[in-house]
Structure 1
Amino acid sequence: MGYLYEKSIHLYDMKLLAGKDGLDHPAEWIHMIESSESASFLHGNEVVFLTGLLYQGERWILEYARRLKERHCAGLVINVGPYIKKIPPSVISYCDAEQFPLFLLPWEVHLVDITRYLCRFIINEEKKKESVLNYLQQLLIVPHESQAPCLALEHSGFCVEGAFRACIIRETHTDKDHDAIMALLKLWKSQLLIFTYHQDIVILLSHMAFQDIKQFAEDVYHLMKDKHIAVSISIGSEIHHISQLYVTYMQASSIQILAKGQQPPVVYYDNMGLYKLLLNGTPPSILQHFYEDTLGPLRAYDETHQSHLMETLRYYLEHDCSIKETAAHEVVHRNTILYKFNKIDQILGTSVYSEENKLAMMMAFKIKDLF
């Protein structure tokens, strides 16, 4: 919004009356609305022009400003003249308090001229954003040739150094196309840097604390759920130069398989622990062979005897190898757990108490989650 204001100060004598702290709000289009009821049709980030044709006094215009603020508009431009001769102090105070930019425009200015002028800048900014998205796509398509896209990004005003993460959204069990999902996301947060790559929708997250990233991912999931769109979401680790976008993308892509077992289906590479080793380029056939060697006989025994030794062993390993906790979880005496462990030792031909064996078994369970 501030950029459009700077372009209009001298040419059209537009003045900022209130809401200076909200000038960083994105402005995406121009609308002329004469009644507050029409504000319900706005999507957000619009700059609204008002001549006051239906002006009914101070309370009316204060309610008008409130409705625009509720719709997350970028700002209000009041064309002062025969209908609105002076902007009430209460409106100025409200816009200052709410950080909602309020501008005054002389009646002599032709609205068709200034709106066309501002729309040209908005369209140019949209084209620049599309170029940025194309260059980000190139960084994934040809990651070993990152120099040219990075230079182009810098030329477009994009800061290539910072804190970035790739967020992948992947559809599950729905027939929604990517365009519909992307349109929904842009309507929700218009400034998202979002594009498609293969079967994925990719969002570039930048300069966000990890807690904010978690909230963002969960918000996206619930937004999709409310529209009956099933998705899984994964987020890679932080990179500090955009040339490394492929790294954080591949991390997010590699853990997508783990999202299916989560509720909500959202996973973060930073929280993967042992999975990072398992997903770091090891062929699936080798991982499956390791799982079969380590836990295959125990799985086969459970299937044949309808027992649950695998569940007992996993709970034990995931709870600090505490026999007491495992017994309490299964509501049995600790001697029953010791008997089960003795049986597991016989089946696997190894000891569940060996530190090396514990690590191997835990890795085998992690591998089981992947397939």
Structure 2
Amino acid sequence: MAVRFWELYEETKEQFRLKIAAGKAGMDTVVSWVHMLEDETIVSRFHGEELAITTGMKAVQSGWLLKLVQEMAKGECAGIIINTGMYLQSIPEEVVNWCEVHNFPLLEMPWEISITELIQAYCMRIIDQKQFEKKIGNAFREVIQGRFSEENIRQVLGERYDIEGTFQVFCICIKKTMEDELSYNQAIIKLENLFGLWKGNDKINTSYGLIRMEDFLVLILNNSKDKQYMELPALILQSFSYFAKEKRFHLGIGPGVKLIENLSASYKRAKTAMRMSMGTGKEMIHFEEMGFFKILFSIDDADVLTSYANDTLGTLEAYDKAHDTSYVNTLRSYIKNDRSLIRVAEDTFTHRNTVNYRIQNIKRILGCELSDTEELFPYQVAFYIRDMTKKS
């Protein structure tokens, strides 16, 4: 969990004599870094969630400060602290009103307080938090790999989480390029902000952890309730809406488990669901709703699946290629329509007699009568695997 503006304020409001002038409702936002700001042009270089401090030395220009806070809000910055008493004796009323209406945090600090000391204190706090988050992330990685019994790991996680409580894992994969890195990082910060607002509005006691793996993101919930379980996927999707619109967002949701030693089970199943999401092109998959695909997508060795499909359908595929027929498609329709020749004829726009002729040939080529579910099942699985491979 990243540092939020209200945390920084509560920890230092007396030391730096800070006063909230407007936008208190927006202070549950993440602060990614702190900058001294005297020129509005630098705002375009911000990456999002920056906190700015200014003396307002350019505020002699009419409307400068209002334009500055508007640009910062547009760039999704965390807020601004104004050092009053030299260039600005007080904050213009139009700025205060705008920030209040738009929930943009606006704080005031007296001139005699050192800006340098505040920036140093805030930046060190952010760095310390990042180091702690790194320690938490490493501990969670150990747990999901099955090494939960080591005392130091349990001690680290026990500082923040109820290790005897319930856990649930969400695996998020974003198909991104190097050019997408900034948008990806901003989406992660947005997720943390939305999560903070969500918890704050409902007074939710759920704890969470956000871990970056090599090529995907892991969100871990601790002691979540059914209502939260239903709402959270929409928050995740909202945070990564840019990638979702481009069909590059995939989410796998694992089942809830009791006790931290079972966290690895939820992780593995969430990862399996994420793989199915990627394989089918769907945005979101719940492991519990995967049915038979739980087995297929749990197999890490893709060559095993490909070999099975080749052994099962290879003879018929080779026949189609050699004789310019479409027996594979006919067999797929035959399985889908529960061996009904009439429905296969409708499905393939083919005369029933022609369908019957093809089915008899298929039986001869495969050396199988395809007379019941048990005989059809291996071919159905092979078609599942073919679809998985094609979509992946």
TM-score normalised per structure 2: 0.74
* Residue among 14, 28, 40 paired with 2:18: 14
**Within-5 A mapping of 1:1-371:** 1-56=5-60, 59-143=63-147, 145=149, 148-155=152-159, 157-158=160-161, 160=163, 161=165, 164-167=168-171, 169=173, 185-190=184-189, 191=192, 193-196=210-213, 200-204=215-219, 206=221, 209-213=232-236, 219-220=242-243, 235-240=252-257, 242-251=260-269, 253-254=271-272, 262-263=280-281, 269-270=287-288, 272-280=290-298, 291=309, 294-318=312-336, 326-352=344-370, 354-369=372-387
Distance in 2, matches of 1:23 and 1:265, equals 31
**Contact 2:252/2:277 (8 A) holds in 1:** no
1:194 offset after TM fit, Å? Answer: 3.3
Cα deviation digits, residues 56-81 of structure 1 (max 9, x gap): 46633222111111111111111122
Distance in 1, matches of 2:303 and 2:45, equals 55
Report the AA paired with residue 138 of structure 1. E
Report the AA paired with residue 294 of structure 2. K
**Contact 1:302/1:309 (8 A) holds in 2:** yes
**Contact 1:221/1:264 (8 A) holds in 2:** no
Q: 1:216 to 1:50 in 2, by over 3 A?
A: closer
Cα deviation digits, residues 189-230 of structure 1 (max 9, x gap): 245823336xx44432546634444566674477897xxxxx
1:278 offset after TM fit, Å? Answer: 3.3
Distance in 1, matches of 2:182 and 2:64, equals 34
1:103 offset after TM fit, Å? Answer: 0.8
Cα deviation digits, residues 102-124 of structure 1 (max 9, x gap): 11111221211222222222222
Report the AA paired with residue 380 of structure 2. M
Cα deviation digits, residues 109-140 of structure 1 (max 9, x gap): 12112222222222221111111111122123
Q: 1:109 to 1:66 in 2, by over 3 A?
A: same
1:166 offset after TM fit, Å? Answer: 4.4
1:16 offset after TM fit, Å? Answer: 1.1
Aligned length: 357
Distance in 1, matches of 2:339 and 2:106, equals 63
Cα deviation digits, residues 246-289 of structure 1 (max 9, x gap): 32443355567766754589876455332212345698787677
TM-score normalised per structure 1: 0.78
Distance in 1, matches of 2:377 and 2:154, equals 42
Q: 1:78 to 1:359 in 2, by over 3 A?
A: same
Give % identity. Answer: 26
- Segments of 5+ residues of structure 2 without an aligned counterpart are 193-208, 222-228
Range moving further from structure 2, 126-135 or 245-254: 245-254
Q: Name the structure 2 match of 1:228.
A: none
**Contact 2:171/2:274 (8 A) holds in 1:** no
Q: Equivalent residue of 1:193, what SS?
A: strand
